Structure 1
Amino acid sequence: MTSLFLSLFSALLLQVKPDCSNVPDVEDRTGLCKSCRELPEHLLDCEDVLDLSEYNKTYQEDFVEKYGYGCKKMGGEARDDVQTTKVVCKSIDSFTCFWKPDPNEKGNLTDNKFLSEFEKPCIRYTGHYFQSTLIYSILLGFLGVDRFCLGWTGIGVGKMLTVGGLGIWWVIDIILLITGNLTPNDRSNWETLY
């Protein structure tokens, strides 16, 4: 009986959200009314990094200057090549936090959204594995399967109709893949194996 009472009480306690809208200043906040900017990343619902790489350089610089976030270049081979950017976040629905717009913050963020204090890498993963693509290229590259898998459909059709360029194109694509010059068409990074 006692355990039933405790479980019901804890379920009710978890449903109660504090009302942080009437907290006037930072000094008056208590433990339940933290600033949304102070929350750890696992309590935030953040958008993906914003890809600006398809736009011209002037638009990229103007957007980053105006709003304070965005990726001018996606991906990279080495860690130093990968850019980082802030992302737009808000607190998760089941958690209430104190939110007040920052007058120094760039852009026009509404609906309790704000720029994160942390930065995320400008990387996109879309399910392309280097190992499986290399196996496809070695075993079925003469039919263009490797190009189809990477999203290079037009080149894949040409490779299939010419039977891998009579074998020459087939070998060249294996070399391009191993040297890192043949990558996914959507400019995403290779998925990592854990």
Structure 2
Amino acid sequence: MALKLLQPPKLEPITLGTAKNYLKLDHDDDDAFLNNLIKTARKAVEAFTGKCLIMQTWQFSVNSGFASALSDGTYLEGMRSRGKGGIELPKNPFIQLEGDPEIVDDYGHRTIKDFRLDQSGRTARLHFGPSIISLTEGRGVVNISFTVGYGNKVEDVPEPFSHAILIALANLYENRGGPANDNFLVPPALPQSAIDLLLPYRSARLK
């Protein structure tokens, strides 16, 4: 399995002005640094909760044999309103698929039509029919492109996430000067007060 970010969020859920007001800063000396910390804090919140805040597009790749083995044939045939098993998309909240899934193998890229999307649970899942095995003998890779997030505006993000980002941001800013990686401060664990805000929103991890 592999996960690749295709389209990052076009903005951060916290504006620079909001961050400076929260930190009570009235100068511009640290603006570039603060923008980096906002992104770092947002990523820490997303990693902890499994939730993507601002709209972003990802590609999830799985072996076709694995995808078929986890799929529920009775759900595919319309005999159930909710599937059992399936390929769970590892990011949420789910918005939409970006086109039909594709099979990639030695013969190139081919669109899969034999699938059904299940959105009845907390996470979106896909179920695939037997055609993905007949096409590849179980040796191909299924690519699923999908968009997730609460929306494309700052106000679309639930307030607890925004507040947790500000708490994490303040913690990072007050403890600046730590080791750096690609111009981003390596984040410590989220402060407990941020964790308390986020726990009700945390997604169950893939097993």
TM (normalized to structure 1)? Answer: 0.23
Which is bigger in relative contact order (C-alpha 8 A, separation at least 6)? 2
TM (normalized to structure 2)? Answer: 0.22
Which has the larger share of strand?
A: 2
Q: Which has the larger radius of gyration?
A: 1
